Structure 1
Amino acid sequence: MKKLLSIVSLVVLSGILAACGSESGASSGSGSDEVTIGYFPNINHVAGMVAEEQNLYEETLPDGTEVNYQYFPDGSAFMTAIETGEIQGGIVGPGPAMNHFTSGADVNIVAAGSTGGTVIMARKGADIEAPEDIAGKTFITPRVGCTHDIQFETMMQEEFGITSDRIDGEMKHVTGKPATYSSMFESGNVDVAAVPEPWASSIESEGTGEVLVQNSNVSFNDKLPAAVFVTSQDLKDEDPGLVQNLVDAHIQATDFINENPDESKEIAINKIKDITDQELSAEVVDNAWDRIDFTYEVNEEILQLFANSSYELQFLEEKPNLEGLVDTTFIEQ
Structure 2
Amino acid sequence: MNKIRTATALTTLGLVAAMMAGCASAAASPSETSAGDAGPSVDELRLGYFANVTHAPALVGLEEGLFQDAVGDDVTITTQVFNAGPAAIEALTAGAIDATYIGPNPSINTFIQSGGQSARIIAGAATGGAALVVRDGIDDPADLEGTTIATPQLGNTQDVAARVWLADQGFETDTSGGGDVQITPTENAQTLTLFQDGQLDGAWLPEPWVSRLVIDAGAHVLQDEADLWEDGEFPTTVLLVRKEFLDEHPDVVADLLKGHEAAVQWIADNADEAPAVINDAIEKETGKPLADAVIQRALEHVTFSVDPHADTFETLVDNGIQAGTQKDGSIEGLFDLRLLNKQLEAEGEEPISAAGLGED
TM-score normalised by the chain length of structure 2? 0.82
Q: Which string of whole-angstrom CA distances, capped at 9 and with x for unpartnered residues, describes residues 229-277 of structure 1?
A: 0101111112211111111111111111111122221111111111011
- 1:1-333 → structure 2 map (5 Å cutoff): 1-5=2-6, 7=8, 10-12=9-11, 14=13, 30-104=40-114, 105-124=117-136, 127-158=137-168, 160-166=169-175, 169-218=179-228, 222-317=232-327, 319-333=328-342
Q: Distance in 2 between matches of 1:79 and 1:187?
A: 31
Q: 1:286 to 1:13 in 2, by over 3 A?
A: closer
Q: Distance in 1 between matches of 2:138 and 2:231?
A: 22
Residue of structure 2 in register with 1:24 after alignment: none
**Partners of 1:134 and 1:192 within 8 A in 2:** no
Residue of structure 1 in register with 2:25 after alignment: none
Partner SS for 1:162: coil
**Partners of 1:116 and 1:221 within 8 A in 2:** no
**Partners of 2:12 and 2:84 within 8 A in 1:** no
**Unaligned stretches of 5+ residues in structure 2:** 23-37, 343-360
**Partners of 1:182 and 1:209 within 8 A in 2:** no
Q: Distance in 2 between matches of 1:57 and 1:103?
A: 30
Q: Which string of whole-angstrom CA distances, capped at 9 and with x for unpartnered residues, describes residues 271-306 of structure 1?
A: 111101122012111111111110011211201111
Q: 1:6 to 1:220 in 2, by over 3 A?
A: farther
Amino acid at match of 2:340: I
**Partners of 2:12 and 2:83 within 8 A in 1:** no
Identity %: 26
Q: Which string of whole-angstrom CA distances, capped at 9 and with x for unpartnered residues, describes residues 135-187 of structure 1?
A: 211111011111011112222222x1213133863111111112222221122
Q: 1:153 to 1:14 in 2, by over 3 A?
A: closer
**Partners of 2:39 and 2:251 within 8 A in 1:** no
Amino acid at match of 2:144: I
- Calculate the aligned-residue CA RMSD, in Å: 2.3
Q: Distance in 1 between matches of 2:277 and 2:150?
A: 28
